[in-house]
Amino acid sequence: MPGQLKETFRPVRCRKGGARKRVWRLDTPGERAPSAEVSLEERRYENGRDPQILDVIDIPMIAPVPRVHQTENHMIDAERYWTKEAAFSWADLPSLVERPASLWLNGVSTYHGTNDCVAQIDAAQLSRSLFLIRPETLNVQMQTEGGMFGPAKKRVRADFRYNGTG
């Protein structure tokens, strides 16, 4: 594997506790974005098109990169294209819905949200980080955050109620 996987830390401002967010990056310049997100170029099909909602996609992976409760993390092979295998239908989507008793641990909040942060020490108690759920309510907002702690940035946040909590 070219480059070396290194772990960096970025502070996350929380009302309670000094939570820190773990971020993975490759040491070789230009191979991965600093926080390991998938770039626009990496997420395209060979024909140049972007994946669409409900596409079933074959995404080439290099290796699993689990971290604490985020057991689903993998390093994507940026040298290979994604392949659309099929398209899922909206009618079949409910068959994929999961019903966990809870999603995460509540009690830690950032300046802009409620229960939207999990301290690293608490995250170690969780066994996974991704669920496909059907919330009882959902409100999506785009807002400008920051300014007091650095440059203001537009953020999209979802406020939802799930299993009686929200």
Q: Tell me: the pLDDT tens digits for 25-43?
A: 333 333 444 467 788 888 8
> Is the pLDDT reported for residue 135 higher than 50?
yes
Cα–Cα distance for residue pair 14/149, rounded to 1 Å: 12
Residues of the chain with pLDDT > 70, as a percent, come to 78
Average pLDDT, the chain: 76
| Domain regions of the chain by residue span | 5-134, 135-166
* DSSP strand pairing (83-87 vs 153-161): unpaired
Q: How far apart are CA 32 and CA 51, in angstroms?
A: 20
Q: Return the minimum-mean-pLDDT range out of 55-59, 61-65, 97-101, 162-166.
A: 162-166
What is the model's pTM?
0.64
DSSP-derived secondary structure for the chain = --S-EEEEEEE---SSS--EEEEEEESSTTSS-TT-PPPTTTT-BTTSPPP-TTEEEE--EEEE--BTTBTT-EEE-TTS-BEEEEE--GGGGGGG----S-SS--S---TT-SS----HHHHTT-S--------SEEEEEEEEE-SSSSS-EEEEEEEEEBTTB-
Instruction: Pull the structure tokens for residue 8.
Output: 């960096």
**What single-letter amino acid sits at 96?**
L
Tokens standing for residue 156: 């999209």
141, pLDDT greater than 50: yes
